[in-house]
């Protein structure tokens, strides 16, 4: 009995009944913990959508590419800093918004899709992912795209869309009937697709605007919360792709261009927060907010360096959208937790895989410290 007392942490003199009750409580905790892991793994509900199934779907659509991200597989590391102008301090207590604060930034420009060696094309969605390193050990990670809204509202719709948009090997394009069926089942996605198609596609990474798409909350020092969506808007004037650019045979022309531009000098964007109102949708990334919402310029993002992905740089960073500093909080958008979980699963898989050389072998730009 003394050994049993020691194993379960029961006080001396406990009765047999109290020992059994304590054992039952411990068993309940263990069962609950096991159930949590089982649920996360999809063992108790094989039909449920899990992070593993989402990553599996990417592999099903794009094929196996060990060592690479399952989405936005083709990318280039960038580095620089963010200089706050102080206007964000009234909205968020996050230290990076304090006037005069300069925060180191590392990031990644990339193209959507899970095929790292695919040729660049103007219509492919471009992304900019950033990791802000705050001086007190906090971090802010965000992934943005050059589209004004997200094409789906829920993780389940995203999972279905991946298969619906899978190119037919015979044509290289998605099956029209399969896409038609998807949009019939998801009319909100049809409206979002129209907005995405109508956007202006610029000449490259440097003159693209990147939207955060999901809503978040800025939390001020007094506890006041404001719904926000953010974007980075380029200082460089936007220009459409020229006929000469469209005719180029360079498979990496978008990445080669931004690396060359960084060798010539810094590239700058303004971090702009759009402030939502109580009735604006915060849990539906397919819906744009009204154009008359207040926008606040929070400061300047300056990129100064670029380098191919390699050990220890952006290749090994999980740009989890829920890595947030005190002063920025998630909204109720269901895509946020799904993205976080799927990113973690993808990161875990590729971390254990043999790495191939970077799909983009750009010459490092001056100031590259990645």
By annotation, the residues acting in catalysis are 72
Angle at 282 between CA 281 and CA 284, to 5 degrees: 75
Instruction: With CA atoms as reference, report the closest residue to 346 among 66, 140, 156.
Output: 66
Q: What secondary structure does DSSP assign to 92-126, as a single string?
A: ---GGGSTT-EEEEEEEEEESSS-TTPPP-TTSPE
- Distance, CA of 292 to chain centre: 27
- Which residues are paired to 232 by β-bridges? 210, 271
The C-alpha atoms of residue 286 and residue 284 are separated, in whole angstroms, by: 5
Rg (CA), the chain: 24
What 8-state DSSP symbol labels residue 248?
A: -
Distance (Å, whole) CA 80 – CA 301: 8
**Can you read off the two tokens belonging to residue 235?**
């200082």
Distance CA 26, CA 220 (A): 41
What DSSP designation does 174 have? B
Tokens encoding 87? 């206007």
Written as six digits, the tokens of 339 are 């993205």
Length of the chain: 370
Backbone angles phi, psi at 336, to 5 degrees: -65, -50
**What are the residue ranges of helices labelled H in the chain?**
2-8, 16-41, 51-62, 155-164, 176-185, 187-197, 243-246, 253-264, 334-351
């Amino acid at each position: 009995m003394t050994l049993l007392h020691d194993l379960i942490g029961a006080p001396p003199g406990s009765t047999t009944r109290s020992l059994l009750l304590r054992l039952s409580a411990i068993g309940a905790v263990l069962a609950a913990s096991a159930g949590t892991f089982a649920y996360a793994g999809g063992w108790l509900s094989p039909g449920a959508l899990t992070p593993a199934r989402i990553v599996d779907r990417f592999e099903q659509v794009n094929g196996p590419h060990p060592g690479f991200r399952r989405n936005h597989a083709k990318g280039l590391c960038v580095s620089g800093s963010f200089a706050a102008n102080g206007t964000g301090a009234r909205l968020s207590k996050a230290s990076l918004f304090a006037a005069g604060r300069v925060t180191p930034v590392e990031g990644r420009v990339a193209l959507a899709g899970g095929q790292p060696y695919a040729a660049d094309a103007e219509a492919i969605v471009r992304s900019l992912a950033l990791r802000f390193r705050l001086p007190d050990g906090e971090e802010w990670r965000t992934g943005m795209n050059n589209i004004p809204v997200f094409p789906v509202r829920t993780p389940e719709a995203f999972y279905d869309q991946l298969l619906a948009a899978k190119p037919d090997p015979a044509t290289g394009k998605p099956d029209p009937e399969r896409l038609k069926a998807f949009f019939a089942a998801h009319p909100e996605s049809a409206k979002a697709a129209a907005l995405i198609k109508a956007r202006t596609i610029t000449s490259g990474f440097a003159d693209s605007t990147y939207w955060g798409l999901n809503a978040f909350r800025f939390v001020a020092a007094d506890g006041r919360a404001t719904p926000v969506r953010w974007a980075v808007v380029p200082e460089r004037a936007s220009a459409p792709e020229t006929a000469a650019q469209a005719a180029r045979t360079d498979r990496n022309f978008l990445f080669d261009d931004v690396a060359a531009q960084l060798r010539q000098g810094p590239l700058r964007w303004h971090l702009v927060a759009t402030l939502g109102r109580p009735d604006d949708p915060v849990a539906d990334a397919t819906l744009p907010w009204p154009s008359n919402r207040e926008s606040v310029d929070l400061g300047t993002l300056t990129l100064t360096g670029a380098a191919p992905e390699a050990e220890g740089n952006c290749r090994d960073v999980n740009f989890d959208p829920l890595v947030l500093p005190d002063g920025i909080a998630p909204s109720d958008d269901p895509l946020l937790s799904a993205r976080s979980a799927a990113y973690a699963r993808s990161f875990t898989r590729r971390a254990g895989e043999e790495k191939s050389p970077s799909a983009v072998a750009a010459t490092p730009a001056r100031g590259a410290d990645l």
